[in-house]
Structure 1
Amino acid sequence: MSTADRTYSRTDLVVPVLEQHCFDDTALVTWMTTNIDGFEGPIELAQFQGG
């Protein structure tokens, strides 16, 4: 299928992060706490349904 044949849609719907897109969210919170003044967790991760 060529790029021109693909249909794209816009959505505001978020879903849990797919397994292949997961990363260490604990490490992210640690980094953010160390590097962003005033940051306080926790965080909630999700992704748009379209990716």
Structure 2
Amino acid sequence: MRIHNDHGAALTTELGQFPGGRSLYDPRPGEQRKPGPGVSCRFYYFGDTP
């Protein structure tokens, strides 16, 4: 399952701190969100959640 919005994404994973939990990805604070070829926003790893 994937949860995604303009503020980030939560992707299910078996490899994170909490097996069966989610890895969180968010845009970096202050980073420009200019669209590029096929890219509207880059997400970076933020942490894990159960």
Q: Tell me, yes or no, whether TM beats 0.5.
A: no
Q: Larger % of strand: which?
A: 2
Give the helix-richer structure, 1 or 2: 1
TM-score range, shorter chain: under 0.3
TM-score, structure 1 as length reference: 0.24
Larger radius of gyration: 1
- Structure 2 length-normalised TM: 0.24
